């Protein structure tokens, strides 16, 4: 089964590119983040016309998550138990469904904005709640095939940014954020992409500003975190850097993992 994750940074603006990418990628499941649209605006025809079932959750012009699958899509659920809100407002940041026997989560982790900002506290709380849910689920069924896909808004290693000096005093690389990511892995997950796409200089995101992409100044913040039962079946992975090129590209590239189930 080929499972991909992609922060598309506006699904309506990228609909044609997403369809073309599905046609050539052979993805069985695509976890999507940053839809930037309400549910009534979602371009589901892109997926319906290609034989993909789709579940999505969008509240406004910010955030938004979806899962598209051509191997079945059962028991879709929005959010997760204990998922915190920001300033008492719910955000569309998590959706899950069972696709071909694998529980797939599409996650758009809060950005954190800047050190000392309340949004960073929210981000860390969000990680703690997610970690608790995953730990409880895998403790109940250690053999469950489960994968968390998405934009985690953390660069876990120094090699995951083009220059650590450029991130001094910034989010995404701070010790608390990296610890939160590590704690999530400690709940029983394995990051399955790096073994096939080793760094340094291997990124999934390049800011639109200051010619970051042609300068190869990126960040590695998009991952697939698999339970042990699923991670053992991972056979290949790639980051589709070509999809970051050209007119109308997202600032993230698709991340793809093959599992031999």
Tokens of 141: 């069924």
Side-chain-side CA neighbours of residue 136 (13 Å): 9
Q: Which of 8, 4, 28 is nearest to 18 (CA)?
A: 8
- Among candidate residues 28, 151, 160, 222, the one labeled active-site is 151
Say if residues 86 and 65 touch (Cβ distance below 8 Å): no
Sign of CA dihedral 87, 92, 98, 100: negative
119 is known to lie in a ligand binding site: no
255 and 224 Cβ atoms separated by less than 8 Å: yes
The DSSP secondary structure of 18-35, one letter per residue, reads: HHHHHHHH--SEEEEE--
**Considering 172, 222, 252, 258, which one is annotated as catalytic?**
252
Which has the closest alpha carbon to 225: 183, 193, 261, 179? 193
In sequence order, what are the residues at sequence separation of 6 or more whose Cβ sits closer than 8 angstroms to the Cβ of residue 1? 28, 29, 71, 99, 100, 102, 258, 259, 261
In the annotation, is 252 catalytic? Answer: yes
Of residues 28, 57, 105, 108, which has the active-site annotation?
108
153 annotated ligand binder: yes
252 labeled binding residue:
yes
Residue 117 in marked binding region: no
Nearest to 31 by CA among 2, 60, 3, 64: 3
Annotated binding-site ranges for Mg(2+): 7, 34, 151, 153, 251-252
Catalytic residues: 108, 151, 252
Annotated binding-site ranges: 7, 34, 151, 153, 251-252
């Amino acid at each position: 089964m080929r499972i991909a994750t992609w922060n598309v940074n506006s699904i309506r603006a990228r609909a044609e590119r997403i369809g073309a990418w599905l046609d050539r990628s052979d993805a069985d499941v695509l976890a999507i983040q940053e839809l930037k649209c309400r549910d009534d605006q979602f371009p589901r025809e892109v997926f319906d016309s290609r034989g993909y079932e789709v579940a999505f959750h969008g509240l406004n012009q910010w955030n938004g998550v979806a899962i598209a699958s051509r191997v079945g899509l059962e028991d879709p659920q929005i959010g997760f138990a204990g998922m915190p809100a920001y300033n008492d407002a719910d955000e569309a940041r998590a959706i899950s469904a069972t696709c071909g026997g694998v529980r797939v989560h599409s996650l758009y982790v809060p950005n954190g904005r800047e050190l000392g900002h309340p949004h960073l506290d929210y981000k860390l709380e969000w990680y703690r709640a997610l970690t608790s849910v995953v730990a409880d689920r895998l403790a109940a069924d250690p053999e469950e095939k489960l994968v968390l896909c998405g934009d985690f808004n953390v660069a876990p290693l120094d090699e995951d940014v083009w220059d650590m000096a450029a991130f001094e005093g910034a989010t995404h690389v701070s010790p608390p954020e990296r610890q939160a990511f590590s704690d999530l892995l400690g709940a029983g997950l394995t990051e399955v992409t790096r073994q096939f796409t080793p760094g340094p200089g291997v990124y999934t995101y390049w800011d639109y500003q200051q010619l970051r992409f042609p300068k190869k100044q990126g960040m590695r913040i998009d991952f697939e975190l698999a339970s042990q039962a699923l991670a053992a079946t991972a056979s290949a992975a790639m980051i589709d850097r070509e999809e970051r090129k050209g007119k109308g590209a997202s600032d993230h590239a698709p991340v793809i993992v093959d599992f031999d189930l």
